[in-house]
Amino acid sequence: MQVAIIGVGYVGLVSGACFADLGHTVRCVDRDANRIAALRAGRMPIYEPHLDALVARTVAAGRLSFGTDLAEAVREAEVIFIAVGTPARRGDGHADLAHVYACAREIAGALSGYAVIVTKSTVPVGTGDRVEHILRSLRPHGSFAVVSNPEFLREGAAIADFKVPDRIVIGTEDERARTVMHALYRPLEAGTRILFTGRRSAELVKYAANAFLALKIGFINEMADLCEQADASIHDVAHGIGLDQRIGARFLQAGPGFGGSCFPKDIQALIKSAQDLGAPTRIVETVAAANEQRKRRMARRLIQACGGSVRGLTVGVLGLTFKPNTDDMRESPALSIITALLDEGAEVRAYDPEGMDQARALMPEITYVPDAYAVAEGADALALITEWDAFRDLDLPRLRRRMSGDVLVDYRNLIAPAAAAEAGFHHMGVGCRPAP
C-alpha cells in the first residue's frame, strides 16, 4: 500500500520505517527541512536502537523515502498518518492540537482519490471529529475517512513494540476505512490482536492506558516512601504484590518520579478533557500532583546525604534522559534534580550515553564529561538518575577512588547496596533505609 506519514519524530519515523519493512511504500514528510536533509544523508535525527539499520535497509529497498512536500506525499497515498507532536499547551495543560489541525488543512488541499486519514498522534477524545470537520469543510465532496490509531510504542524499544505490539487499536465507524486499516496491519496480525473500536473510544484508550501506567508508578513510589519510614524493603513489597496476576510485576519499579515526552503531558490533557466533559478524574489528578511534588523533592535526599547542604560541593550525575536507550530529555527527572542542586549552590558534572546533546540545550550551565569515571573525578557525591545498562557494571572501587566524598544516591536502585558499601560508598537507594 502507499502510505504517507507526516512528522518524522520518534513515532513517525519508527512507524514509517516499520511499515516500509512490512512491504508498504512509505513517504515520510516533515516541515523541518534539517531533519529531512539529515535522513536523506543517512543520519538519524533521534536516537533509537537499531533504527539507523532499519531505515538504511528500507530506503535501499526503495520502499522508504523522505521529503518536505506534504501535498506530494498525500496525493499518492491511500493511508495518511498524522504523527506530529501534541505538546501541552502553555498555561493550561490542554493538548496543543495546532500541528494536528494544520496537517488536516494541508491534507484537505492535496487529497486526490479516496484516502484514510489516521491520527497516530496522541489526541484528546473528540479530536477525530474536529479533524473530520476541518477536512469536510474544506473538501465538501472529498472521498475520505478519519480514523484513530493511537501508538503505544516505548522509546528505547520502539521497533520491537511496533512490530510485536500488545495490541493494535483502530477506531473507526467507517467500513471501508476499517478494511483498508486491516489490510495495512495484516502482516502483524499473526503476532498481535487488532482491536476495532469506535473512534472516540480509541482516542480514550491511549490516554487511559498512559494514566493507568502512571498510576502504577505513582503508587509504587508512594509505597517506597512508606517503606523507608517503616524500615521495610520496596523490592520485597513490589515483588510480593507483583506476583498477584491481577496486579502484575511490570511497572512497579520505585524511582524519582515519571517524566518523558508522554506521561506528564498526556495525563494533564486527560485531566483537562475530563474536567471539560464534567467527569473529573480525581485519581489521575492526584497522581499528576504527587509526581510533580516527588520530582521536586528528589534533590533533597542527596542534599541530606551530604549533611544538609551542597553549597560549594561537586555533584556528579550519571544519566540524564528520562529513561535509558533514548536521547529524549523531555520532562526528565534529571532536570528537576539538577535545577534544585544548582539552586542550592552545587556544581554539577554529568554524563549520559545518548542524552548530552539535548541536555546541553536545556542545561548549558553544567559540565558535560565523556564517561562515568570522569563524572566521579573529585566529586563529593554521585546521583545515578537514569538506569542505563552501562551503569550496571561500573567498577565501583575505581569510581569511589576518584571521588573526594562517598555519597551515592541511586535513584533507580541499580547498584547492589552491598557492593556499593564494599567499595566504600555511603549508598542510598529508593524505598529502603540506607545501611547505617
Give contact residues for ligand NAD (rule: CB under 6 A): 6-12, 30-32, 35, 83-86, 99, 102-103, 121-122, 151, 153, 155, 261-262
Burial class (CB in 10 A: 0-12, 13-18, 19+), 402: middle
Question: Nearest 5 degrees, angle CA 81-CA 86-CA 89?
Answer: 155
Round to whole Å and give the CA distance between 403 and 408: 11
**In the complex, what is the shortest distance from the CB of residue 67 to ligand NAD, in angstroms, rounded to a whole number?**
11
Closest Cα partner for 303 from 276, 341, 330, 271?
A: 341
How many other CB atoms are there within 10 angstroms of residue 40's CB atom?
12
**In the complex, what is the shortest distance from the CB of residue 221 to ligand NAD, in angstroms, rounded to a whole number?**
21
Buried b / exposed e along 214-232 (16+ C-beta atoms within 10 A): bbbbbbbbebbbebbeeeb
Query: Which residue among 28, 103, 262, 306 is the active-site one?
Result: 262
Round to whole Å and give the CA distance between 88 and 97: 9
Round to whole Å and give the CA distance between 132 and 143: 11
Beta bridge mates, 382: 316, 408
- Output the known binding site for substrate: 152-155, 206, 251-255, 259, 323
**In the complex, what is the shortest distance from the CB of residue 409 to ligand NAD, in angstroms, rounded to a whole number?**
27
Active site includes 28? no
**In the complex, what is the shortest distance from the CB of residue 160 to ligand NAD, in angstroms, rounded to a whole number?**
13
- Give Cα separations from 301 to 172, 236, 350, 382, 413 (angstroms): 49, 22, 18, 12, 14
**In the complex, what is the shortest distance from the CB of residue 27 to ligand NAD, in angstroms, rounded to a whole number?**
12
The residue among 17 and 432 lying less far from ligand NAD, judged by its C-beta, is 17
**In the complex, what is the shortest distance from the CB of residue 324 to ligand NAD, in angstroms, rounded to a whole number?**
14
The residue among 125 and 408 lying less far from ligand NAD, judged by its C-beta, is 125
Quickly tell me which residue has 573526594 as its cell: 404
Quickly tell me which residue has 542550592 as its cell: 344
Q: Residues with Cβ < 8 Å from 317, sequence gap 6 or more?
A: 334, 337, 338, 348, 349, 350, 351, 366, 375, 382, 383, 385
- Output the known binding site for NAD(+): 30, 35, 86, 122, 155, 265, 330
All cell numbers assigned to 426: 555511603
Round to whole Å and give the CA distance between 425 and 293: 28
The residue among 32 and 389 lying less far from ligand NAD, judged by its C-beta, is 32
The residue among 268 and 314 lying less far from ligand NAD, judged by its C-beta, is 268
**In the complex, what is the shortest distance from the CB of residue 177 to ligand NAD, in angstroms, rounded to a whole number?**
20
- Output the known binding site: 30, 35, 86, 122, 152-155, 206, 251-255, 259, 265, 323, 330
All cell numbers assigned to 91: 498555561
The residue among 103 and 337 lying less far from ligand NAD, judged by its C-beta, is 103
- Give Cα separations from 320 to 279, 338, 385 (angstroms): 37, 9, 6
**In the complex, what is the shortest distance from the CB of residue 319 to ligand NAD, in angstroms, rounded to a whole number?**
18
The residue among 63 and 120 lying less far from ligand NAD, judged by its C-beta, is 120
Q: Residues with Cβ < 8 Å from 205, sequence gap 6 or more?
A: 150, 169, 171, 197
Q: Are 119 and 199 in contact (CB under 8 A)?
A: no
The residue among 105 and 300 lying less far from ligand NAD, judged by its C-beta, is 105
Round to whole Å and give the CA distance between 427 and 12: 41
| Residue of this chain nearest to ligand NAD (CB atom) | 9
All cell numbers assigned to 269: 490533557
The residue among 261 and 358 lying less far from ligand NAD, judged by its C-beta, is 261
The residues that are catalytic are 262
